[in-house]
Amino acid sequence: MENYKPDPVFESLGREKGAPFYDPVTAAAFPEHHVRYRNQRWAEKVGLGGLTEAEWIAHFGRFEPLPDNLSAPVAIRYHGHQFRTYNPDIGDGRGFLFAQLRDDRNRLLDLGTKGSGKTPYSRFGDGRLTLKGGVREVLATEMLEALGVYTSKTFSLIETGEQLYREDEPSPTRSAVMVRLSHSHVRFGAFQRLAYEKNDEAIAALVDYCIAQFYPALNSKSGEARVAAFFGKVVQHTAQLVAQWMAAGFVHGVLNTDNMNVTGESFDYGPWRFAPVADPSFTAAYFDQTGLYAFGRQAEAGAWNLAQLGGALSLLASADALNEALQSFSGAYEEAMAEAFLRRLGIERKGEGDFAFVANFLKWMTETGAPYEQVFFDWFCGSASEERAAKSPVAELYGQDKFSEIRSALTAATPEKPERLAHEYFNAPKPCTMLIDEVEAIWAPIAEKDDWSIFEKKLEAIAAMREAHDFAASRFSP
């Protein structure tokens, strides 16, 4: 563990006036430990790449503390709006913060769990994770990282030998415990809980923690200006995240306030989906009957959630100051949409007119039902891919009059790092995708005969796509 740099700073928050930010908890004892996924690439970035399999299981299956790190796991307390209904009875119910450490760029990262056992906030749950849920999260995070989305990373997935019963999948089903790597576990709901309890001193302490660890440039500010500036940063990063989801054709599915955090990092993947086409009404969760979190309403959801965070921060700053920060969301979102879509298309920004192009591009995608990922694949680097696009399975769409304005803009744009097209990934007729039928096809042989070959092959395909795109998919840096 030569480059391992522990930094358990969350403990510094301590307990504030009877309203602790967390509770020490004990991990469940599992009967078996079979490593199903190990993120070696990111393990090396945080100095844990040299762990043996036995050591990996000890830390991420039995949760023996990492050296000089948190002495015990902590379940973080929070509330949240779930489908816009406030719920004061939630918190880390099947996960905890296990460790904090610095990566090879000296950024603070958290190791958090999912399926690690009961906590004081489990309510009627068993605190467990299904193996299928863990597999789905691996696929989501790997795919999103490859598409340039600022996402948490699935760090470890270990099958645990228990049988679980779930209403939404065939039961009994296999169990697992997962560890994710992310920059922050400070959810909007953590502030909401403290506001609910009218603990402005604790809110101030949490703001100070977030500024110190994630936005140190704001340290020079004080009072109301400090809080409003912090909120403005969260607004900006949330706008960027939603734009990245849109460019990836991704639907998170459950955009509750407890599923959004202060660094604007995508995490906690339940009923996610990738949209096959640009359908604004496309939803991920079968229980989202009104389409509240549909593909085309994710920006609305992000802004609504930010308003709730602003409401919690109003104990420390005026409504006018916070509203001014919130009003910046629209402009930040337009800028982020232009940035995310043009990056995905591999063309350079012009500045003026970039967002108008994105709006026209999405309008064409919506009207024609063009396969979402195929179009980005066909036109990557714009004019440099014109011959490739002519050989596409959907080349007929590109010859239609409706596409002429889009084609003109794409071919007039300057390709960004066109040498990326030399990667073998771009020699195939179709891109790597992750539609729901593919996810089920990956899971079926695992469930039926413990065959992980399709899963592993898909991860190899995603890795090739990630290398070919060469996106800076984890750009957050304090």
List the one residue out of 272, 316, 317, 276 whose CA is nearest residue 152. 272
- Would you give the DSSP letter of residue 233? H
Query: Are the C-beta atoms of 26 and 57 separated by less than 8 Å?
Result: no
Query: What tokens appear for 31 in the block?
Result: 């009967």
Query: What tokens appear for 281 in the block?
Result: 């009404």
Query: Are the C-beta atoms of 286 and 271 separated by less than 8 Å?
Result: yes
d(CA 438, CA 327) in angstroms, rounded, equals: 40
Query: Are the C-beta atoms of 465 and 431 separated by less than 8 Å?
Result: yes
Helix, strand, coil tally for the chain in percent (to 5): 45, 15, 40
Peptide bond into 67 cis (omega under 30): no
Q: How far is CA 328 from the centre of its chain?
A: 22
Catalytic residue among 258, 288, 354, 378: 258
d(CA 448, CA 296) in angstroms, rounded, equals: 36
Residues in CB range of 132: below 8 A, 6 or more apart? 169, 173, 174, 443, 446, 447
258 among known catalytic residues: yes
d(CA 81, CA 101) in angstroms, rounded, equals: 30
CB atoms within 10 A of CB 288: 18
Q: Give φ, ψ of 240 to 5 degrees.
A: -65, -40
- As annotated, the active-site residues are 258
